[in-house]
Amino acid sequence: MRICAGLLVSAAFGCAQLASTVSLSNGVQVEISANLGQPTGQQTITAEMTRASGDSFYRIFRDQNHLAVYAYELQIALTPDGNALRAVAKPVETEFAARFPDADAGKPVPTRSADQEVGPLGSGQSATIDLFEIPGMGIHLTETIRVRFGAEGGGALRFSALRVSIDGKPVAGPASGSVAGRYVMFYLPGRGAYFFSTEPVAGRGFAKTGTIDRERMRFTVDNAEFECVSGAPIHGEGGELWVLHDASYQPEGNWTRSRENPGADEFFMAASDSLGWWLR
């Protein structure tokens, strides 16, 4: 495996980070975190996460030249009783190569040789996936998946028992549970997903089109006026709101859905510290 020497191992915040957490209004919270082992301080490794499908994500590990040194796909699903989570670490294949043709300067990106299933993981449980080593550099990279039920986490934005109205007409809610994170979103069946930030988001198409006033949030999308009311303050300071609407967003699998009725396509809320959980 090729990695140039001379730089420190590091983790960058944002799309290139070594840990990421998502919380859902169905009570599921998942954290994925990478452990580098005992690095000698001669290499840079960053981790990027991007959506593969509705229930799976690519984890891409890059060197200081932004070339991919390893990648795999992580698929997540609730067990049929809704009380635990299963995950499968899978090799990246042709779809990944088509989406990221220059990830490793046109060469095939190293990946897993076979699937590895972990779980079922109940609340408070974790499992570790062994990924790759860089001989002589002290890097033995593993990832740990931690699961909690009923935990909302922390963050700048918070939705609690959210109710949504469009042009004065109630359309959804109140959602069960609470979610909190750097970014929050909700999904409306038939309308797609709406993503929110309290600051500009480069390269994603967010528009400053709304405001937050304690428990109330108002914004305009496609000439429709939205009003959202939360059971707790959405943002302590209030202020401006950046919004992205993805009309084509469609959840897949069952991990985002009600644990009592996993087959239903219904309104839900979520929060994360990374948009890569939701956006390609």
Is the CB of residue 175 less than 8 Å from the CB of residue 271?
A: no
Given this model, what pLDDT does residue 262 score? 67
Report if residue 210 sits inside a domain. Answer: yes
Which of 114, 149, 184 finishes a domain? 149
pLDDT at residue 1 above 90? no
Per the rule left: phi > 0, alpha: psi between -120 and 50, beta: everything else, 203 is left
Tokens at residue 231, please? 């059971």
Q: Are residues 242 and 197 in the same domain?
A: yes
Confidence band, pLDDT 50/70/90 cuts, at residue 30: very high
pLDDT in tens, 161-186: 999 999 999 999 888 889 999 999 99
101-105, 231-235, 257-261: which has the minimum mean pLDDT?
Answer: 257-261
DSSP state of 16: B
Same domain, 174 and 60: no
Decide if 9 is inside a domain: no
Does one domain contain both 63 and 164? no
Looking at the structure, do residues 172 and 270 belong to the same domain, yes or no?
yes
147 SS3 class: strand
Distances (CA, A) of 193 to 76, 112, 187: 19, 32, 4
Determine the average pLDDT of the residues in 241-245: 96
Quick one: which of 89, 87, 70 has its CA closest to 139?
70
Domain finish residue from 117, 133, 149: 149
Grade residue 8 by pLDDT with cuts at 50, 70 and 90. Answer: very low
Q: Which structural domain, as residue segments, surrounds residue 25? A: 19-149
Q: What percent of the chain has pLDDT over 70?
A: 90
Per-residue pLDDT band at 54 (split at 50, 70, 90): confident
Residues 123 and 230 in one domain: no
What's the pLDDT score for residue 65? 86
Indicate whether 163 and 137 sit together in one domain: no
Instruction: Say if CB 122 and CB 79 are below 8 A apart.
Output: no
Helix (H) or strand (E) run with residue 117 in it: strand 116-121
CB 139 within 8 A of CB 131: no
Number of neighbours of residue 193 by Cβ within 10 angstroms: 20
pTM score of the predicted model: 0.84
DSSP string, 14-49: SSB-SEEEEEETTSEEEEEEEEEES--S----EEEE
Establish if 163 belongs to a structural domain.
yes
What are the two backbone dihedrals, phi and then psi, of residue 98, each rounded to the nearest 5 degrees? Answer: -70, -35
pLDDT at 13: 28
Q: Which pLDDT score is estimated for 254?
A: 85
Which of 250, 269, 31, 258 shows the shortest CA–CA distance to 172? 269
pLDDT tens per residue across span 181-221: 999 999 999 999 999 999 999 888 999 999 999 999 999 99
Residue where one domain finishes, among candidates 119, 149, 179: 149
pLDDT at 14 over 60: no
Residues 76 and 166 in one domain: no
Tell me if 120 is assigned to some domain: yes
Per-residue pLDDT at 270 exceeds 80: yes
Tokens found for residue 190:
């038939």
